[in-house]
Every structure is written in C-alpha cells, then in structure tokens.
Chains A and B, each alone.
Chain A
Amino acid sequence: MNNLLGIGELERREIEELLALAESFEGIDLREVKKVPALRGRTVLNLFMEPSTRTRSSFELAAKRLSADVLNFSAAGSSVEKGESFKDTVLTLSAQGPDLIVVRAPWAGAAELVARWSGAKVVNAGDGGHEHPTQALVDLYALKRRMGRLEGLSVWVVGDIAHSRVARSLLIALQKVGARATVCGPPTLIPPAVEALGADVSYTLAGLQEADVVYALRLQRERMAELPLPSLREYAACYQIDGGRLAPGQLLCHAGPVNRGVEVDGRVVDLPQSAVLDQVRAGLAVRMAVIYALLAGGRERAAVQAVGGVA
C-alpha cells in the first residue's frame, strides 16, 4: 500500500486486515505507557488546508503513539495566505522529507495531486466532498464492534448526501464488505445519478425500520452557497432521527460534529444504542493501523509484527 487516497483502492481482504491491525493497536490505550517504538525516526506531516479538530488530532495522536515525529501544517497563517500555490506548498513541504503526508483539503482530488507531486506516501484525510477513507474504516470498525458482523447489514445513511465525503467513502466501503446501503434525504441533497454510489434511494424515512444501522449526516453548510431547503425546521420535521424514529435495537452512527436538534435529537445521541463515541475511540486505533501499514512495509508482515510487538 503506497497511499490511501480512496476507500475503493482497497480490496475487501485488505480492509479486513486493516481492521484486524487496528484491533491489535487498541490495547495500547489501556497501558500505562501508551506508546510503541514502531515508527521511531519516521516523519508524518499533517497538511491541513481546511479547519479540522477531530481528524487532525486523531492522526497526530496516532502518529505519536507509534513514535513518529509529527509536523503540523495548516493553511491559516501559512505561505498559502501569501499567495503560494497548493503545488508549491506541497513541493516545499515535501522537500523536508516527510515519510507520510496526511492531507485534508476543500477540493476533490487534492490528495491525488499531493501523491503526484510528492515522493512521500499519502493518506487522504478528506478532499472536498469526495472521499474520507479513514473515516469509512473507522465506521466499519465501530459497526463490526457493535453489531458483530458487517456482511448483510442494512445501513441507512440519512441527510446531506450530496456534499458528504463521509457518505461517499462509507457507501463504497459498505459495498465492499457485503452490506446494503440506502441513502435518504431531501431530493435537493441527494445527487443526481446517485445509483453511481451503489445505494438505494428513499426521500422519506418510511421504511427506516428495516435498517440495522442508522447513520445520520450533518448538513455541510460550508459547501453550500444557499441551503437548498425551505427551513431547518422543515428539515428536522422530515429527517431528524429522534427517539420515536429510532427503533430499539437499531444502532445510531454519526461522524461528528453533531448538530443536536437538527439531524439528530440530542437525547438519542446519548442512548446506549448510539455508537458515536465508539466511532471517536475507533479513530485512533484505525489511524494507527493505516499509518503503520503504510510506513512499516508489507501489510501481512506489518500485521504479524504489530500483533507480536504490541500484545
């Protein structure tokens, strides 16, 4: 694995191996010294061209737990504000010799460009509305942990499909592992030709009962010029996941940040059937697994070493 630009690049077997590797890393959290020397002397560059708290800190912590050196670069206050092009920024930072670049940018294809311009390995930490492959791995990890399986699960993804990189990567990932996906939301937030994403479509929540998992998405207002909806009130009335709509036994997921009272009723987020905090916790182990798999050589060998070295 040279890069992780999109979840579609991974075979099902590779996804399962990464999830297994993540599981082996989870125990580190319980230790007194939460650190392994696996990547000592390696450098991970976090290149963040748009704001992020959880993803950036999750990657940073994951790299540090593996003993890599971490360099953080964010667009605000940088040479980008002085007019430097994205390409020159990437070339300049690459010249400092990072082994891995974790890139987040507001434009689809940004990570692919970084991979083309830089000799370092590249992880896509979100490129516009396009892909967020580590989030999809995190979601699969949390789903498997909570549901015990992935194969055959019915997952409803509810909300702003059009602007969501979380949805795009998740839908591809669910197809890979044999789960069924339905996208649900207002017609103005479901992209045309949505079949291209391999999901069924519903414009109403009727039928939500058949879901094993309900995945709520936030309205990505930063990617919309105008809200293509009459009002948030009408949106919530049609699509908010609340205690009445979420059936017992259904698992609730959300990639955060949660807008309580819009896409979800605040009360259901805190219910035991909510996996929201499991997703956050899974983030660290999964990102350690991805960084490790990329920097510590062949995947199989990596998995063996990790299990041996960590257990």
Chain B
Amino acid sequence: MSGLLVGPQPAGERLLLKEFQALDPAAGIEGPHDLRIAKGKVAELAPAGSLEPGEGETVLAGAGRLMVLPAFFDPHVHLRTPGQEHKEELASGTSAAAAGGFWAVLAMANTQPPVDAPELLGALRERAGREARVQVGFFAALSAGLAGKSLAELVALREAGAVGFSDDGRPVASAALLRDALRYQRLCGGVIALHEEEPQLAAGGAIREGPTATRLALPAIPAAAESAMIARDLELIGAEGGRVHFLHLSTARSVELLAQAKERGLAVSGEVTPHHLILDEAEVSLSNTALKVNPPLGNEADRRALLEGLRSGVIDCLATDHAPHAPEEKELPLELAPMGTTGLETAFAALYTELVKPGLLSLARLVEALGCGARLYGIEPATLRPGAPANLCAVDLEARWVAGEDGWRSKAANCCFAGRQLRGRVVATLCAGRLAFSRLGVEVAA
C-alpha cells in the first residue's frame, strides 16, 4: 500500500554508486558492490568494479570504504504541522530525516488542530506531496480532538490515507474507549499505536522515579505508569483481538509483557528509541532539558532489557520519536520544560557509536531495525535488490563528528545527543532515486 506515503516523485536522474560496501541483511546482500540507479529504481547491483559509468550518469565514489544500506524508516516522528510550525515544518523535519538516512517517516497526529478529520488529513498529505523531502505517512487521531472521549471518524480517515490511529503524546486513559477502538478496527483496519502511560501515576512527573529524581527533588514518574497500562491494554486486546503497536517502550517490565503477549499469539508489536537504549536517568541533570523526554529515561536495568528486547526481536524496530521544540520552550527550569528530544539526524550515528562499536548490537540488526518498522504498517521496507525503488543511504563508518557541530537541518536544536562525539555518519540519502541529502560533493536537486 504505497498509497499510504506521499512525498517527492521518483527521479529520472541516473546515478552510479561505485565500490561501496553493501549491506542489506534482509536480502542477504553483503560485500563490495556497484549499484546503478535509473528511473527511481535500483537498476543493477553487481560486484564492485564491474559497472562502468554510462553517458550522463553521475558517479558517487565509495572508494571501497563507504557503505550503502537500505535507507531507514522512522515510524514515529512529530513534524508539528499544522499549527506549531515554529517548532518544525514539513520541509525542515523531512530534511532532517534525509540527513539521518531516512527515506520515509510516519508523522503523529498531535498537531494543532489534531489530525482527526479526513479533510485535515487530505490537506496535509497534499502539502507534504509538495514540501516533503522524503516520503511521509500520517497517523490520524484515535479519538476526536485527541480528547479521549469518542472515536474519530476512523473509516473516513483510513480512506483518506491514515497509516494508523494514535493519540500519541497522551494515553488512551479510558479502557472503554480503547475497547471500542479495538472492536471498530475490524471495520476500519489500520494499526492502533498506543502511548502507554497511566495518567494519574504519571501526573506532573518530569523524570523517572529513582535516585536522580530523589536527589534533584523532581516530580517523578514510576516505571509502573507504563507497564500497568500495557498490562491493562493487553487484557483488552486478548479479549477483543486487534492489531496494536506499542510506542516508545521504556521499561524492563514492558519488554516482558510484550514478549508474553507475542507468545500468546496477540497481534502486537513494539518500538524503542535510540535515547532509551543509550541514556538512563542517572544522566539527567537540572541543566539539560534535552534529556527530559516522555516516557522518561529509565534506569540501567531498563536500558539493558530494552537492548536485549531489540536484539531478540521482541521489540520489532527502532523509532526516534523526533520531538522538536523551540529554544525558548526548552530553556526553562526542567519541571516546566516540555518533554521531547529530536532524533532523526543522530539516530544512526548514536546507535552505531554507543551500541555497535562496543559490540552490544550487530550492524546487521541495527540496519534491519532501522528499516523494518515500515512492514508493521503494511509498507515495503527499503532494499538494495534490483528492481526495488532506490531508497538507500550511504554511510561513512570511520567519520568522527560532534552532534550539532554544523547546526541542524531540523528547525529545533533540542537533541539529547548534542555535543557528543559520534562515530559513523550518513553521507548521502536517496529517496526513490532522488538525492535527498548529500555530503559527497554532489548537488542535491531542489
């Protein structure tokens, strides 16, 4: 159902990627290759050195050192459009995605107004078709106005192109409403994506309950705020059926509950963010509001459990939960600052630096988990296979850089990894054969 995504049209330009280390674990492709790109597709994939540039073909030189990967898919971003364009716009958010190696992103519906009506969704998709630099799919709100009282027009929204339904940013507090949504899903289809947070347990909290919250006297959110809600909802899914995706898992218990639910045969899936895999509550300080995220950073045991969940496949995929905010909104005492970190431009490098380099995660699983979120929503993930749309990215694993050193493509700078020394960097991104991002000295078409 490629109709779920909107964005730039396939390009006619012809490219030759010479001497790249290819890696596409799902397709069993690995090793030095040349790739020919034509008509927006991978036209040829051949052993390195075997393809010669044709007339009018632009050559990207991998020099045997750069890697080419299937481009990434982020199933959870906030593009803040409509209504909060001071934080992010379709063009800036998708430029950030391109710079991070993503060929497509799914945008959440908690905009102002929320995307809860087919007319709104239609207008937004049309706008994305003109402005977006990579492919974009849109969630629709699960409840009218994100108010958690009554269902949005789910059938009409699905027909207008919604990839799924989510009140992300807030939980579905009413068990009765969620039960209705699960039943109604038999009619409307689409994935129900849940932000799990027991509202009274989490009320007013700034960071995870634990030694840091106690030391800094910050209002805290217990781990059970997430897992208690997941447990409740799994009971409803067990009774009613339904296809449900759990957003941004952050606790060890959540991973256990997801594993048990999958064992039971429930149609559930889960995602984890780079920041929940890399950072923990011990790193939170009063002076860095970029680390104030929702759900809050867990403790070390949570972090290990999330990593193990990602390795084993209990957690299906990675998602950045890219959540841009304006500087003046984040430059507040931690208790008052809004939650969220940007993530699109640092996801690959942060995960490569902190997990792959130290041997905690294989590069193959990282590449897979950064791409396979597409399949959860019925979208074909990117691949290097000949004949497939040319959605791919080139990375330089030897590159050393400091996150944020050249500024950001996102409008926002609230990145939890800002200032970190990173290894590995995305150097080019192709979206349907079009160069959406390049630092290889080749111009990106406007």
Contacts and interface: CB of A to CB of B under 8 A. Distances in A.
B218 A108 contact: yes
Contact of B217 (A85, A87, A129): A129
B328 A108 contact: no
A196 interface: yes
Nearest to B213: A191
B211 A109 contact: no
Q: Is the interface of B mostly helix, strand, loop or mixed?
A: loop
B211 A196 contact: yes
Contacts of B335: 107-108, 128
Contacts of B156: none
Given A108-B335, A110-B333, A197 B328 contact: no
Contact of A128 (B217, B222, B328): B217
Given A87-B328, A192-B220, A225-B204, A113 B333 contact: yes
Contacts of A85: 328, 331-332
B238 to A, nearest CB: 31
B48 to A, nearest CB: 52
A110 B332 CA distance: 8
Given A85-B328, A113-B287, A225-B203, A105 B333 contact: yes
B216 A87 contact: no
A130 B213 CA distance: 10
Given A107-B334, A225-B203, A195 B216 contact: no
B336 interface: yes
Contact of A109 (B216, B220, B328): B216
A110 B336 CA distance: 11
A157 B57 CA distance: 77
Contact of A130 (B204, B209, B217, B331): B217
A86 interface: yes
A224 to B, nearest CB: 10
Given A113-B287, A191-B220, A196-B211, 12 more contacts: A107-B334, A109-B216, A109-B286, A112-B287, A165-B217, A168-B215, A168-B217, A192-B214, A193-B214, A196-B212, A197-B214, A225-B204
Interface residues of A, number: 27
Interface of A: 85-87, 105, 107-110, 112-113, 116, 127-131, 163, 165, 168, 191-197, 225
A107 B336 contact: yes
B203 A86 contact: no
B210 interface: yes
Interface residues of B, number: 23
Contact of A108 (B209, B211, B333): B333
19 contacts: A85-B331, A87-B332, A107-B334, A107-B336, A108-B218, A108-B333, A109-B333, A112-B286, A113-B287, A127-B333, A129-B217, A131-B217, A168-B217, A191-B214, A191-B220, A192-B213, A192-B222, A193-B210, A196-B215
A151 B332 CA distance: 39
Which 9 pairs across A and B sit closest by C-beta, in order of nearness? A109-B286, A107-B333, A129-B217, A196-B211, A191-B214, A130-B217, A193-B211, A107-B335, A196-B215
A107 B218 CA distance: 9
Contacts of B336: 107
A135 to B, nearest CB: 14
| Most chain A beta carbons < 10 A, residue from B211, B214, B220, B335 | B214
Interface in B321-343: 328, 331-336
A108 B331 contact: no
Contacts of A225: 203-204
Contacts of A165: 217
Interface string B92-133: 000000000000000000000000000000000000000000
Contact of B287 (A86, A109, A127, A129): A109
Interface string B192-204: 0000000000011
Given A109-B286, A225-B203, A197 B215 contact: yes
Contacts of B204: 225
A116 B204 CA distance: 26
A86 B210 contact: no
A130 B333 CA distance: 12
A104 to B, nearest CB: 13
Contacts of B333: 86, 105, 107-110, 113, 127-128
Nearest to A194: B214
B210 to A, nearest CB: 5
A108 B218 CA distance: 7
A108 B289 CA distance: 12
Contacts of B209: 192-193
A112 B216 CA distance: 12
B281 to A, nearest CB: 10
A247 to B, nearest CB: 30
A116 B332 CA distance: 12
Interface in B285-317: 286-287
A43 B247 CA distance: 52
A108 B332 contact: no
Contacts of B334: 107-109
Nearest to A190: B214
Contacts of A109: 216, 286-287, 333-334
A174 to B, nearest CB: 15
Contacts of A105: 333
A86 B332 contact: yes
A196 B209 CA distance: 12
A108 B286 contact: yes
A108 B334 CA distance: 7
Nearest to B328: A85
Contacts of A129: 217
B341 to A, nearest CB: 18
A91 to B, nearest CB: 11
B339 to A, nearest CB: 15
